[in-house]
Structures are given as C-alpha cells and as structure tokens.
Amino acid sequence: MLNKELEVTLNKVENSRRKEKPDQNNLGFGTHFTDHMFSMRWNREKGWHNAEICPYGDFTIDPAAMVFHYGQEIFEGLKAYRGAGNQPLLFRPEDNLKRLNDSALRLCMPRIPTGEILKVLKALVYLERDWIPEAEGATLYIRPTMIATEPALGLRPSEEYLFFIIMSPVGAYYAEGFNPVRIHVENTYVRAVRGGVGEAKTGGNYAASVRALVEAQEKGYTQVLWLDAIERKYIEEVGTSNIFFVIGDEIITPPLGGTILPGITRDSVLTLARDLGHKTTERPVSIDEVIEAADNGELKEIFSTGTAAVISPIGELCYNDKAIVINNGKSGELATLFFNELQDLQWGRKEDKYNWLVRVG
Ligand code: COI
C-alpha cells in the first residue's frame, strides 16, 4: 500500500465560517487550531484511504477503539515558519515523518507513505498560510498523530487506524520564553528503560511523566530532568526536550541508547556546534559529574533542545533538595548562539547549507 498514490480530497471551510485569528502576541502553546486539518484511515484491506483535507472538527470514534484502552498512539511535532516575502517554510519535515514511521514500527502500527504525506503537509500549510504568525519567534506548530481505532478489547495490534494532522499557531512553549528555566532532577519516578518505548514518540511516555511534572511544579520548578531507570545516575532528557551540558570546553549530550527521544533539534544543534568548531561529545553524563563540574567551576551552561522548546537555557537544577545554579541563572553564550543560529536557519535568514528547509508554495 505504501507505493500506491494517495488520493486526497479537498473540502474547504466556507469563508464565512473561518475562525478569527488569535492575538499573535499572546498565543501561548497549542490552544488555538487552524480552520483545516488532514485525516486518513487505514485498514488491512484498503491500506491508507479516505484521505482528506477538511474543516477542523470532531471525530466520531467508537468507545471501544483500542487507543482508549491500550494507548496505541504515536505523534510528531514540527513547525512552519513565515520566511521573507511571507514564504512558508518547514524545517526538516522528512525527519519528523521518518521518526513517525520509526515510532510506528515500535508500536506495531502501519507506516505512512512519507513522500505523499509531505505533499499533503505542504498543501495543508499552504492552505493555512495566513495562520503562520508574524510575531517574532511565533510559529505554526504541526501535530501529525496516529491512533488505533478498531473497536476491540483483546490485547493485540489494532486492525484499523486514523492518522491526522492538526496545526496550532504558537508562541514560546515555556512562560519564561528564552529566559532560563528551573528544573527538578527526578529521583522518585523514571521515564524509560532500554527495550521499552522511550525512543518512540508515543503518548504513553508523556502520560507517564505528568505525575513527576506536577510534583516538580508544586516545588516551583518548570520541568523535570530524568535519570536512567537502572542506576538513577545517568542523565537522560528533560520532560519536553533533550539536554546539553557545557563542561570546560566540551559540549556534551547523552547518547541515543534507546531510552531517549532522537531529537531533530538535538541533531541540528550537534551539527551546528561541530560546524562552528566546538568540541561535541555524545556520551553518558552522570548527575555526580554535573555536580562536581558545578562545584569546581567547570560547568558553564546547560540548555535543552526540542521543537516546542527550541533552545531553552537552564538556570537552576535541583537534585536531592540541593540547588545548582548555572551561569548565575542567566542564559549562556552557547545557548544564545545556537538559539540565534537555529532561528536564522528556520526563518530562512541564513544560507540553508544543510538542506534542512522545505519551501511551501
Ligand atoms: C515537541 O517538542 O514537538 C513535543 O512534542 C514536546 C511536547 C511536550 C510539546
């Protein structure tokens, strides 16, 4: 079915029913949705079918749909940017679609035809181009999602799926914007073990994380930093993003060992850092090493990277009730450099020498 050309129907919203655009300078994250969405269905007999760009709206789903009971769900997050001359731009969309298929494999779900879906995505973004915010740093966040829809309660892979793409104009993910956030190092709960689903982008990983998030927020922290599930020693990732440390002259990030999300922003920062001549290493980093580096003045910066979070400097870590203040709680030089470099690339203000941009329209 992957080779069959996808037939996509276009069913536009009447002009009189278009939504009012939200205040660009007060978008928040993921609370407003555009006029249209894309959806298609899968079953064994027809493969992907009923593909349509249609008005944004509710689905009718059987209460026995397997996603509601066993959580067979995967998703992605990417953004559209308003480039010069109002040109809509997508950043590394093929990588998101490929990662969706990697998640699909792990969750026993059907793969999507990435070439066809990229075409659909471009058509959808073009149709909704007026929704791409103009305000500095604001973007159109895109959420491709797949859920198991077969009504059945026996535990096995679903035989029916729904794939959809919704889009939301967003500002900064954190209320702090690019200002440093305070992070709680989680030492009660764990996120993933090797062999589990930690590297898949599946809702269950996020559902399992919210208890820790709520407890961290109750203590005044914005997010949690996960440690490995076996030794509770090695750093994994932040609740929403990957993490980088600048210790001495080395930029370090934990390796992709099956338990953390293979972030596209993580990969972009590694590429940029190497190209700019920085020493970058993907290796295990223990919380003890971070504390020791902080104590002896070698810890220069910590920042996290993700599609939603972009580059988010970390001003404080709290581990076992001990606060570690990083760079006097200020945004560091390298976090600022990568934030600017990345945004210049994403908005097409810099030569696209890595071929990361896809122009729409
Ligand atoms: C993203 O960065 O795109 C994510 O999916 C993280 C989510 C917590 C917003």
Residues 159, 212, single domain; the answer is: no
Q: Are residues 191 and 322 in the same domain?
A: yes
Question: What is the model's pTM?
Answer: 0.97
User: Does pLDDT of 205 surpass 90?
Assistant: yes
pLDDT band at 4 (very low <50, low <70, confident <90, very high): low
Alpha helix positions (H), the chain: 66-70, 93-106, 114-127, 203-207, 210-218, 264-275, 287-295, 333-346
Here the CATH number for the domain that contains residue 207 is 3.20.10.10
Q: Which ligand 1 atom sits closest to the C-alpha of 306?
A: 2
How high is the pLDDT of residue 326? 97
3-state SS assignment for residue 165: strand
In the chain, the percentage of residues whose pLDDT exceeds 90 is 98
Q: Is 264 a pocket residue for ligand 1 (Cβ < 6 Å)?
A: no
Claim to verify: residue 165 and residue 238 sit in the same structural domain: no
Given the CA of residue 309, which atom of ligand 1 is nearest to it? 2
The rounded Å distance from CA 11 to ligand 1 centre is 29
In terms of domains, do 314 and 186 share one?
A: yes
H or E element in which residue 90 lies = strand 88-91
Q: Are residues 142 and 190 in the same domain?
A: no
| 224 vs 186: CA distance, rounded Å | 6
Structural contact between residues 54 and 39, judged by C-beta atoms closer than 8 angstroms: yes
Residue 281 pLDDT exceeds 80: yes
The residue whose CA has the least distance to atom 6 of ligand 1 is: 240
Cβ–ligand 1 contact at 310 (below 6 Å): no
Query: Is pLDDT at 74 greater than 50 in this prediction?
Result: yes
Evaluate if residue 3 carries a pLDDT over 70.
Answer: no
- Is the pLDDT at 2 greater than 80, yes or no? no
pLDDT at 176 over 80: yes
Domain co-membership, 163 together with 185:
no
Q: Distance from the CA of 339 to the center of ligand 1, in angstroms?
A: 17
Same domain for 219 and 95: no
- 266 and 304 in one domain? yes
The domain boundary, picked from 133, 150, 170, lies at 170
Instruction: Please give the Cα distance from 309 to 332 (Å, whole number).
Output: 16
Number of structural domains found in the chain? 2
Instruction: Quote the domain boundaries for residue 185.
Output: 181-346
**In a domain? residue 3:** no
- With contact defined as beta carbons under 8 Å apart, do 252 and 281 qualify? yes
